[in-house]
Structure 1
């Protein structure tokens, strides 16, 4: 009886937390369907005029494409660098490892305002402001710690004997990584890539310092729409967050499925080698 009550309490708590997190999105959706020229809730009349404005205004499309391009590129680079850093920190033995770990995790601790100001001063002299390369470099630095943490936790749970068995059977370090280690830590890598992508896609503080007429990301465009004028089109953009939520749940399901598949393939690879 006590276990049932405890489980029911945890379920209710999870539902309450989920509703608390989803409530802002659920409020924004009706606001985006309002025909009023101001943000109102509840809406008096329903209309799709603000979604139509998003389609008609090319600046929103350019901002969305710029954010998507920067987020994809920075996530890809973050995965490579974060995975390499996690391998070095977990498998390697070298001096000042704790200090290096602290440096790699510094973007999670240092306020983004300080990072944005420092990056702006440095990139202004290098001509990297309002450029895709500048955004990718900054967002990669912000995304690497998330990948490193996820991959490191995955590596700790990997049975080292599987890698040693593969190398004893003649597999080289690179081949062992791609055939044994990477399949086992792939869910962690995908989780880190997701965090890096979301960090880049949602980042606004450093983006404000780097944005300009030549390049403006979606978060900066939304911030301008609220700060300069209360544009209800921002609510229409925010309501698209539901697509991100649905995609996240689908990715989580795919990660679980991939974990089962790659685990079986790794075991089959070891058995075939023996």
Structure 2
């Protein structure tokens, strides 16, 4: 028993050290965002909020932020609807080529984003969907749906279907059973998938570069443009804000997952 605890403690310590090694460099940008110099310096010689003020006073940054939020919210709604339906079909469906369909649904996670960007640009250029909100929503939804499917599928696999059978035996229809019985149980997984979908859309830059332009751009594309020619320290301030938002959303996703596991493990 003692040896097991030692091994477990060693593994936990190794996991923590590995996580710190991977994540710690990301937080270097935080003190750099409070630098008063016109160049990125670490550690800062003088502290200032000038680059946060630069972000708030620049219409280009604000427009990119608003576009990212609006597109992210639209993508979240579309991804949740499509992802929940796809997860139901993948977990409970019985149809030919089921494995192939499942692979196609999850393919955007496996295919390099550069390839997706090139293909989407070639197709959307002919359809007139570049530099449009609809084009961004369609592409980001395709990238975000797999994360909803993965989260919801894991909940559906563990879901006790006797609850649905009991509801239907008492006269409830399939839709009513799903809305009143199934959906409340898998709701934490749906919420977790929605958060991942929003993060996927809000932080996406590789594919967005192919679709963005003077008429419509997103915050990550603006950040990429800010470091392509010369480094604008405003990027450090924006990166810090994005880091905080992403951490908050991931913490919310972790809380939703914990609630899901507690709900699913609760005896009926």
Tell me if both proteins adopt one fold, taking TM over 0.5 as the criterion: yes
Structure 1: distance between partners of 2:26 and 2:143:
25
Change (3 A) 1:62 1:203: same
Q: TM-score, normalised by structure 1?
A: 0.91
Q: Distance in 1 between matches of 2:117 and 2:156?
A: 32
Structure 1 gaps of 5+ residues are: 268-274
Report matched runs for 1:19-30 at 5 Å: 19-30=20-31
Shift of 1:49: 0.7
Q: Which residue of structure 1 aligns with residue 172 of structure 2?
A: 171
Is residue 54 of structure 2 the alignment partner of residue 53 of structure 1?
A: yes
Q: Decide whether the 8 Å contact of 2:55 with 2:234 is kept in 1.
A: yes
Alignment RMSD, CA only? 1.9
Match of 1:253 in 2: 255
User: How far 1:97 sits from its partner (Å)?
Assistant: 0.7
- Give the distance between the partners of 1:86 and 1:42, measured in 2 at CA: 48
Q: Please name the residue that 1:272 is paired with.
A: none
Aligned pair count reads: 266
Give 1:10's aligned residue. Answer: 11
Look up the match of 1:106: 107
Cα distance between partner residues in 2 of 1:194 and 1:182: 17
**Partner Cα separation in structure 1 for residue 117 and residue 260 of structure 2:** 37
CA distance in 2, matches of 1:28, 1:171: 55
- 1:111-133, CA deviations, whole angstroms, 9 ceiling, x for partnerless residues? 21121111112211221111111
1:17 CA displacement = 3.0
Q: Distance in 1 between matches of 2:189 and 2:260?
A: 11
Q: Is the CA contact 1:86–1:152 (under 8 Å) kept in the aligned structure 2?
A: yes
Shift of 1:257: 4.3
Cα displacement (A) at 1:175: 0.6
Partner of 2:122: 121
Which stretch has the larger CA shift, 134-143 or 238-247?
Answer: 238-247
- Rounded to whole Å, the distance in 1 between the matches of 2:253 and 2:114 is 31
Under a length normalisation based on structure 2, what TM-score does the superposition of the two structures give?
0.93
Deviates more, 1:135-144 or 1:146-155: 146-155
Q: Equivalent residue of 2:35, what SS?
A: coil
Contact 1:25 1:238 (C-alpha < 8 Å) held by counterparts = no
Q: How far apart in 2 are the matches of 1:133 and 1:262?
A: 37
**Alpha-carbon distance, 1:261 to partner:** 6.8
Matched, 1:67 2:68: yes
5 Å matches for 1:61-100?
A: 61-100=62-101
What is the CA distance between 1:233 and its match in structure 2?
Answer: 0.6
Cα deviations across residues 127-155 of structure 1 (Å, max 9, x unaligned)?
Answer: 11111111000000111111111111111
Measured after TM superposition, the shift of residue 262 of structure 1 is 9.0
Contact 1:183 1:262 in 2 (8 A): no
The gaps in structure 2 that reach 5 residues or longer are none
Distance 2:55 2:169 in 1: 59
Spell out structure 1 runs of 4+ moving beyond 4 A: 257-264
Q: Does 1:232 align with 2:242?
A: no
